[in-house]
Structure 1
Amino acid sequence: MTDDPEQIRTAGRRARRLAYETRAEASALTAAHGVQWRSASAELFRQRLRDRGQELTRCAEDLDELDRLLQHHARAVESRERALKKAVEITREVALPW
């Protein structure tokens, strides 16, 4: 994992984009419900489509969570960088007061 907040944010945005695309795929997959197939096999197939659509939706939710965590991590890295910079400035002032 990089320590560059902007690269971390970029990874989060990629996860968000993948979540969006995954939801679109789940929707397209489950759209086959509208087809009027009539047989036991057809019902089994529709159930499998619903199951796969639900799995894709859960994957999209996981990707959304990954984005949220990466954005949070980027903010935390920036916060630590600011704290470290301030600590270095204070140390310089104490060590070299002139």
Structure 2
Amino acid sequence: MLGDPEQIRLIARRLAVDATQLRRLARQVAHAGDVEWRSPAAALFRARVGERADGLRCRADQLEAAARLVSVHAEAVQGARQEVLRVAALGAALPEAVGGALRAGGRR
């Protein structure tokens, strides 16, 4: 992913927000398993609800990991961009530096 580091950071923040929302949803789903009745169907229902809540928490973990990686990438893009600008500035100053050195060398 290339581009504007701020836009990349925005994506990382969105991923983190989505992870938080997914965790909230996982808690709500888990509470759906808090049923009073006792029967084989109730046990199966609780098991399935638990599986779904676990799956949502797992996806939230993955989104959080992705948010961290995208954030690290934004910092890398920022650093690369700064380095490119530094090298470009050196390159822009090179003709003057070479010309000055040639002029100074011709006066010897």
TM range (shorter): over 0.9
Percent of aligned pairs with the same residue? 33
Larger radius of gyration: 2
2:57 aligned partner: 57
* Deviant stretches of 4+, over 3 Å: none
1:82 aligned partner: 82
| Partner deviation per Cα, 1:59-98 (whole Å, 9 max, x = no partner) | 0001101110111011000100110011011112222326
Amino acid at match of 1:34: D
Gaps of 5+ in 2: 101-108
In structure 2, distance between residues paired with 1:29 and 1:2: 37
Amino acid at match of 1:43: A
Structure of higher RCO (CA pairs closer than 8 Å, 6+ residues apart): 1
TM-score, structure 1 as length reference: 0.93
| Residues 1-98 of structure 1: pairs in structure 2 closer than 5 A | 1-97=1-97
How far the C-alpha of 1:2 sits from its partner, in A, is 4.8
Q: Which moved more, 1:26-35 or 1:69-78?
A: 26-35
Gaps of 5+ in 1: none
Q: Which moved more, 1:83-92 or 1:30-39?
A: 30-39
Q: Which moved more, 1:33-42 or 1:57-66?
A: 33-42
In structure 2, distance between residues paired with 1:2 and 1:40: 54
Amino acid at match of 1:52: R
Amino acid at match of 2:51: D
